[in-house]
Amino acid sequence: MKPTLNQRFQTLILRFHQLGGELPPLEKFGITPAQVVYLDYLGKHPNCQLSDLAEALQYKPASVSVMVSALERKGLVKKNPEQDDGRALSLSLTPSGSEIVAEIEKFRSNRVESILEKLDQDEKEGLMRLLEKTILKEEEI
């Protein structure tokens, strides 16, 4: 029996995750995939507050607070007092945190390049349009 469209899509998504071989060198940095999510967000949204991070990641503030404290202990995230409200804190990456994010981004970029190398530019553009149409919300396109 021929696989359904749904089954074919699931197979492709699983295979996509396997392409490019190894995972980013997280063990080298002593961080987990979950911590990468936080570092990625803080790299793109410096000086955000804990509540912004919790809302964006859709995690409970208490869980986010625990993770941010762990990243702070590792020297990757810094809590900065807000100037107009000393009780409020903004979050930013330390230089070490920024270096890790840059290295992971470089790894990801190289991985994507190797995955897409079989396609010409028009095929790459077509693939991107289809993925954006299926994955992103209207306002993100």
The share of the chain scoring above pLDDT 90, in percent, equals 55
**In whole angstroms, what is the distance from residue 85 CA to residue 119 CA?**
52
**In whole angstroms, what is the distance from residue 128 CA to residue 135 CA?**
10
Q: What is the pLDDT of residue 110?
A: 86
pLDDT, the chain, mean: 88
**In whole angstroms, what is the distance from residue 46 CA to residue 130 CA?**
31
Q: Is 91 helix (H, G, I), strand (E, B) or coil?
A: strand
Q: What is the pLDDT of residue 49?
A: 92
**In whole angstroms, what is the distance from residue 55 CA to residue 102 CA?**
24
pLDDT value at 70 more than 60: yes
Tens digits of residue pLDDT in 2-49: 889 888 888 887 787 777 556 677 888 899 989 999 999 999 999 999
The tokens for 43 are 């790299």
Q: Tell me what the mean pLDDT of segment 132-137 comes to.
A: 84
Q: What is the pLDDT of residue 92?
A: 95
The share of the chain scoring above pLDDT 70, in percent, equals 92
E strands, the chain, are: 48-49, 77-81, 89-93
The tokens for 116 are 């897409």
Q: Tell me what the mean pLDDT of segment 39-62 comes to.
A: 94
Q: What is the pLDDT of residue 98?
A: 97
**In whole angstroms, what is the distance from residue 116 CA to residue 70 CA?**
36
Q: What is the pLDDT of residue 22?
A: 60
More confident residue, 73 or 107: 73
Q: Are 56 and 41 in contact (CB under 8 A)?
A: yes
**In whole angstroms, what is the distance from residue 49 CA to residue 79 CA?**
9
| 72: CB partners within 8 A, 6+ apart | 78, 79
Q: What is the pLDDT of residue 86?
A: 63
Domains and CATH numbers, the chain: 22-112 (1.10.10.10)
DSSP state of 60: -
Reported pTM: 0.78
